[in-house]
A and B are shown apart, each in its own frame.
Chain A
């Protein structure tokens, strides 16, 4: 069966520091991968999606970037975090128009 791993579960970072969140999927090949962000009490915002290695589409211009160095690995990065980057970050993969989410990373930028 397919599983998705996302870490860390929580992260507290100072403003201006770099960020790297990693997500891996097991049990499937060539998955479509997604990064979503959810601000406190709000809905989910699509940040990036990828249909294959090195193929990244950005939905929202910001100081975040994504990379897909391997088929089942998706990384969310930032060179310098802003206060507004705080939120709940979720990685997901899809099949047949169904999304399956990781457990999320709660990021607090202070």
Chain B
């Protein structure tokens, strides 16, 4: 299983773009990269998933370089409500029909007024 490394914490201000980078040097060929957001006393919430290049949805963008050894979650124009812990996961749906997804420590993002 690919191990992930993220910054422990980040600070930003309302209206700024925030980029959180995750390293996953031993990512496997069939692994996907998935990001989650967690607020206190709630379960993590799926944000975005990608395999390579760039993926964008209504919430965020995910940039994955060609070697796939890292990925960057980009949150445009953050607000106070984006203050949360963000997790990067790397895993795959195996041919046997299961996947085992391990969370790292996550990045605690604090957005200030």
Contacts and interface: CB of A to CB of B under 8 A. Distances in A.
Contacts of A7: none
B43 A104 contact: yes
Interface in A75-97: 88, 90, 92, 94, 96-97
Interface stretch (B9-17, B53-61, B92-100): B92-100
A15 interface: no
Interface of B: 32, 34, 36, 41-46, 49, 87, 89, 91-93, 96-106
Contacts of A36: 103
A51 interface: yes
**Chain B interface main SS type:** loop
A67 interface: no
**Chain A interface main SS type:** strand
Nearest to A55: B98
Contact of B43 (A42, A57, A59, A101): A101
A59 B100 CA distance: 10
Given A43-B87, A43-B105, A98-B34, A104 B42 contact: yes
The CB with the most chain B CB atoms within 10 A, among A44, A46, A90, is that of: A44
Contacts of A90: 43-44
Contacts of B103: 36, 43-46
Q: Which 10 pairs across A and B sit closest by C-beta, in order of nearness?
A: A101-B43, A44-B103, A51-B98, A97-B32, A43-B105, A90-B43, A97-B93, A32-B98, A97-B91, A104-B43
The CB with the most chain B CB atoms within 10 A, among A34, A99, A101, is that of: A99
A36 B104 CA distance: 13
Nearest to B98: A51
25 contacts: A32-B98, A42-B105, A43-B104, A43-B105, A44-B44, A46-B100, A46-B101, A46-B103, A49-B98, A49-B100, A51-B97, A59-B100, A92-B43, A94-B101, A96-B32, A96-B49, A97-B32, A97-B34, A97-B49, A97-B91, A97-B92, A97-B101, A99-B34, A99-B46, A99-B89
